[in-house]
Amino acid sequence: MKNLNQKSPEFIDKILGVICLEKGLSKNTKIAYTKDISLVFEWFENKNINFLFANEKNFRELFSFLQRKNYKPSSLSRKLSSLKQFYDVLKAEGYIKINPLNNLESFKKIKNLPKSLSEEHLILLLTKAKKNLKNFEKDNSTKKLKFLRILTILEILYSTGMRVSELISLPLSDFIKINDLLQIKGKGGVYRHVAFNKESKKMIEMWLLHRSSIEKFINNKYIFPSNNGIGHITRQSIYMELSELSKSINMNSAHVTPHKIRHSFATHMLNRGADLRSLQKLLGHADISTTEIYTKVQSKRLSGLVNDIHPLNRINLKKKESL
């Protein structure tokens, strides 16, 4: 095994030069990697550990120390990445036999789920969308098209929990016959079933009937064509129409997005007794741990569940009734 001076900045620069050449890293990335590795070498030096002989335990202690120093997950992940690559080159160059960082996992950023809309807010949105449509029910103007389309989209998003990317890609051929279940192609090319309720099926039927009367949509293969009839409606168009709808009832438009409607679907389904496995299938989550994040319910709801359901509370209630 080769010998080297672990304090040598020239050596660090040499190894990083190899990484930059192999990975095509930018100058700024190289500077960041240099800082990361110099910090680690300094930490090892203070612990009297030769970095060539540092093992997995030493690195776990290092990252525990950095976590206590409140380094962000993104910063920790970059440090881990730069170190893994650094030690890969050391191994390739014959300085070490095993990369001690192979078993260390990246630091995942804790995702803050967007707040869900309340059931009341979604009912207000749907009611307003229906009112808008009713005002142009006997009209064949572009306004009727717009109001009918956004109402149908809103019904589908909320009744199925579908991603907006999945919705805009829905082919017209899937709706020759409208069933309770529809197989869609989801994230990662994985197929799953989504379920329509009676109201969403009714709106789809209305939309398809109106769509069939618009000449520029006749040869379009998507259920929701773009305004010019070429390709499908864009995400941006849906965001804009939802924003207009929310503003019309004095709701903060930033709070009404397809993703938040999906989140609302999951939250409301759980609140009303849906089981986690079924919800995982409906949402198209590959890992149930992704679905489990929706189980974070408010303390008020937990308290209410205990008061309503706990057997001791029921016993006490019966005692009061018998007095």
Reply yes or no on whether 294 is catalytic: yes
Reply yes or no on whether 262 is catalytic: yes
Out of 78, 128, 211, 285, which one is annotated catalytic? 285
Out of 47, 259, 277, 301, which one is annotated catalytic? 259
Q: CA 23, CA 31: separation in Å to the nearest integer? A: 15
Q: Where are the domains of the chain?
A: 9-92, 119-296
Reply yes or no on whether 187 is catalytic: yes
- Provide φ and ψ at 104, rounded to 5°: -85, 130
Out of 79, 128, 149, 163, which one is annotated catalytic? 163
Beta carbons within 8 Å of 24's beta carbon, 6+ residues apart = none
Q: CA 207, CA 145: separation in Å to the nearest integer? A: 9
Q: CA 195, CA 165: separation in Å to the nearest integer? A: 17
pTM passes above 0.85: no
- Topology of domain 119-296 in CATH is hpI Integrase; Chain A (1.10.443)
Along the 323 residues of the chain, how does pLDDT read in single tens digits?
455 444 466 777 788 777 877 777 677 887 888 888 888 888 988 999 888 888 999 999 998 898 888 888 888 888 888 889 888 888 888 888 999 998 888 776 555 655 789 999 999 999 999 999 998 877 767 889 999 999 999 999 999 999 999 999 999 999 988 889 999 998 888 899 999 999 999 999 999 999 999 999 999 999 999 999 999 999 999 999 999 999 999 988 667 999 999 999 999 998 888 999 999 999 999 888 788 888 764 444 555 556 666 566 555 545 555 55
Which CATH number among 1.10.510.10, 1.20.1280.50, 3.10.20.30, 1.10.150.130 corresponds to the domain 9-92? 1.10.150.130
Reply yes or no on whether 210 is catalytic: no
Out of 211, 232, 262, 263, which one is annotated catalytic? 262
